[in-house]
Amino acid sequence: MIATTGSDIFMTFPEPQREAVFLRRPQRFLAKMSLPEGAEELVYCANSGAMTGCLTSGMTALLWDSADPERKRRYTWRAVKFEGGWIGTDTHLANRIVEEALRLKLVPGLENYCILVREQLLEVGFRVDFVLTGPQGDCLVEVKSATVVEGGVARFPDSVTPRGVKHLKALKSQALAGKRSVLLFLIQRADAHSFVVSNSYDPAYAEAFEDAVASGVEVISLAVAVSPAGFGIPKILPYARDSMASINTNK
């Protein structure tokens, strides 16, 4: 696992934060944590995926403290320590990480663009995360978070995602209409050396992904190392292309 030093940090974690111990995940959007003073607390989990292989009782977790006793869930789960490194668990931070990377010109292939609009409605039920503008026109960027890494390969999705399929079809339509369209996968962990869209959990997504790529949708996969201090400088991960864009991981 690659360590993240202070000099590598390009975006700090929102404060205030505190450590806790992960106990269990009773449902998608909730996790039970043990706080340092011994109390157990249900905290908000923004990651709707299964996070397969990332969750073991007793792991050290990083929480954001809203410091608001009136908030339904005072704490939000930001990261979990896994095999000596950290995994970002807050998918709501993904767009903020990507936005900062775009602002600092740290995303290869998108250095000549500036952010024009955020959350632009493209069609009923689909708002693209970013519309960028540049010398060659506008560019659409949709961000997805990949949490699971197996054998050094980051995989998406890790659960059934009808919403993701709908987004792929919308991006495909935009690409076919001549609009540059980019699907950006963000991996908040440092132990991945490559990325792949897998059909293990949602064959429909894998099929829609291949169709979108064949129709002109571009793919960028970025990894950021995570530490309690923040996020490391984004690094491009290679991904399977063309007929290998979606691999069978059921073996």
Q: What is the pLDDT of residues 34-83, one digit of tens each?
A: 999 889 999 999 998 888 888 899 999 999 999 888 899 999 999 999 98
Reference 100, options 137, 130, 61; nearest CA is 130
- In percent, the amount of the chain with pLDDT more than 70 equals 92
pLDDT tens readout for residues 226-239: 999 999 999 999 98
Averaged confidence pLDDT in the chain: 90
Per-domain residue ranges of the chain:
6-82, 91-247
Residue 32 has pLDDT above 90, yes or no: yes
Selecting from 3.40.50.2000, 1.10.10.410, 3.40.1350.60, 3.20.20.80, what CATH number does the domain 91-247 have? 3.40.1350.60
Full strand arrangement of the beta sheet holding 114-123 = 114-123, 126-134, 137-146, 180-187, 218-223, 235-236
Q: What is the per-residue pLDDT for 53?
A: 82
Q: Which of 6-15, 62-71, 99-108 has the highest mean pLDDT?
A: 99-108
Task: Give 196's Cβ-side CA count (13 Å radius).
Answer: 20
Q: What is the β-pairing status of strands 218-223 and 180-187?
A: parallel
- In percent, the amount of the chain with pLDDT more than 90 equals 76
pTM of structure:
0.90
Q: What is the per-residue pLDDT for 242?
A: 39
pLDDT tens readout for residues 109-130: 999 999 999 999 988 888 999 9
Reply yes or no on domain 6-82 having CATH 2.40.50.580. yes
Q: How far apart are CA 130 and CA 166, in angstroms?
A: 17
pLDDT tens readout for residues 156-192: 998 899 999 999 999 999 999 999 999 999 999 999 9
Q: What is the per-residue pLDDT for 174?
A: 95
Residue 133 has pLDDT above 60, yes or no: yes
Number of H helices, E strands in the chain: 3, 19
Q: How far apart are CA 167 and CA 136, in angstroms?
A: 24
Residue 241 has pLDDT above 70, yes or no: no
DSSP 152: T
Q: What is the β-pairing status of strands 30-34 and 17-27?
A: antiparallel
Q: How confident is the model at residue 136 (pLDDT cuts 50, 70, 90)?
A: confident
Contact yes or no for 52/159 (Cβ under 8 A): no
